[in-house]
Structure 1
């Protein structure tokens, strides 16, 4: 017996989704200056229930952005500073013996929140990183043999500092693949930095948003609505074709770029494209996906999924260069 096809999003539902997203965006923009790509990625992750890997130097508003989005939707927020001595129990929780009751009590860790910021995830040990896999993939933790469900929605934002690599632990490809998107942040421009100082002077960051907020029920509505945005079979073929080319690059793109790829993207990339493209279409006020949605997402979906070889890394060849070549080789519908 097969499941019934999902009903496409109605005009009234599209209007409600647009209203919710406008409120969230306005509240977010009041607290965060610039970083439009980060805002888009955060909203896509919110609507898809995916996780984001953020790469940037310190001080580019990653924590501020996560807190602003959590406040905009009345969600719980926790920040975890990753260090080499961080233990899995420090993240997921542990059992504490209560001498008065002569029994163990479970204390849930900070991962049990709607929004979790893992700051400098590559500074935590492989064992601690692996503890996050169950939380990210299964939406649960296991403490003392008992499973504890994570709240819904649940969103992990993990950060990496690309400058200081001493004492860090390389993120395994299996864990990288579990991040829906990877966003790379850059410094604000001159006008944006002036605006940041002006808002600090005016106390904007210390007071509640003037644009209001929504509730977690609205987020769950957005997540359901995003799954019902229409994805035409031609767009599906476009997605799969692009991911296929990453695995057979020598046939489709220039030899010098094809030789840089050790491994192409897995089917998780195709899944990520389809989920994120639906959310992006909804964010843009549409009930259907267009090829430009997929193309706009190409870097954030693929930059952490295409594995480059040592020569490419040594020659400082950016994965975005290869991704652009891949999409140039695939005809859009």
Structure 2
């Protein structure tokens, strides 16, 4: 896909949320807060991830942060953007920098559910069926162009994403930990796509938009390729593991201990309830959406070096956490209303606790 120099789709022109600041000095920890030194080291390792990913992917710091938050929260990510903005490269680079196993599955109209989860294969030598694992048995699954496959195959991911297991012939097979799905999606107005059902959209923790690079960033991409950069050879590009699954486990434990005041809990509930009452929406954020906003705000606050969540943390991560869980009324769409404008109105009208 090509675009003229002066045209930019506004949906892909800017990141939907800011990037949390680098963690400051270690904060005092009480007896119940675990090992603060280990938590600070884990936080520093995850911050180093940004610089490592930048060796291969230019200008996507906010989306990298969203991916880290998803890993901290054991959540899944829906990446949306026009072709050619490095969605696939981003996921592969994050997996390499975190020393995680990753697999890529290209979703096509003829893909079958067994191609996703795995299936029983008859072995004539033993006259028995054996289970052949599908690509979901990994740490980071790149579900490429997920909206190019029919709903029957999309539904194969529902149990995988919610239960983190595969059930075949009554047998449950757990997936590795960590496990997240990073699904890429082309805009639904493109030909040959199937809109994701609401039940599946609600299982994604975050919906992140991959923006088009600005001019300087695009020049940097061209310079790297002119100098010999090969996106298929990340090791040659200097990408090395800068964090480990052990760092991630420590970070998750620290995030779980992040304090949330009762007033902030009430603020999260009020935001979600306000979306259900918005006249432009026929579907607002569910209680699962409120839980998602709670856990992402805790991860956001922890990455920023705080041991408690503020209302600003909730506001910062609310859009990518909630927007894919909202459905506009048809008449509102005709009037040019977007889920982003509805969320902006909700965030601007719901009283912020002090």
TM-score, length-scaled by structure 1: 0.91
Which structure shows the higher helix fraction?
1
Are the equivalent residues in 2 in contact too, given 1:23–1:212 (CA < 8 A)?
no
* Unmatched 5+ stretches in structure 1: 1-5, 250-257
Give structure 2 stretches of 5+ with no counterpart. 1-30
On the 8 A contact 2:56/2:237 being kept in 1, the answer is no
Matched, 1:290 2:315: no
| More deviation, 75-84/130-139 | 75-84
| Structure 1 residues 299 and 116, CA gap change in structure 2 (3 angstroms) | same
**Aligned-pair distance for 1:203?**
4.0
- Contact residue 96 and residue 240 of structure 2 kept, 8 A: no
Match of 1:42 among 64, 67, 73: 67
> Given that residues 23 and 211 in structure 1 are in contact (C-alpha distance below 8 angstroms), is that contact kept between their aligned partners in structure 2?
no
Cα distance, 1:312 vs. partner?
Answer: 2.0
Matched, 1:67 2:92: yes
Structure 2 residue matching 1:54: 3-state secondary structure: strand
| Matched-pair contact (CA < 8 Å) for 2:293–2:322 | no
- How many equivalent pairs are there? 319
5 Å-filtered alignment, 1:12-27, equals: 12-27=37-52
State the 1:171 CA deviation.
1.3
Which residue of structure 2 aligns with residue 253 of structure 1? none
The residue number in structure 1 matching 2:212 is 187
Q: Residues 156-188 of structure 1, C-alpha deviation per residue, up to 9 Å, x if partnerless?
A: 011211165433322111111111011122210
Q: Which residue of 2 aligns with 1:233?
A: 262
Match runs of 1:164-175 below 5 Å: 164-175=189-200
Are the aligned partners of 2:95 and 2:101 in contact in 1 as well (CA < 8 Å)? yes
Which residue of structure 1 aligns with residue 23 of structure 2?
none
Q: How does 1:250-265 map to 2 (within 5 A)?
A: 258=279, 260-265=280-285
* Range with greater deviation from structure 2 (194-203 or 125-134): 194-203
CA 232–9 in structure 1, closer or farther in 2 if over 3 Å, else same = farther
Q: Which residue of 1 aligns with 2:108?
A: 83
Match of 2:26 in 1: none
Deviation at 1:127, TM superposition (A): 1.5
| CA offset digits 1:92-112 (Å, max 9, x no partner) | 001111111211111100011
Residues 76 and 206 in structure 2, CA contact (< 8 A), matched pair in contact too: yes
Alpha-carbon distance between aligned partners in 2 of 1:310 and 1:162, rounded to the nearest angstrom: 18
Among 255, 275, 282, the alignment partner of 2:295 is 275
1:163–1:180 CA distance, 2 compared to 1 (3 A): closer
Aligned counterpart for 2:341 among listed residues 316, 321, 326 = 321
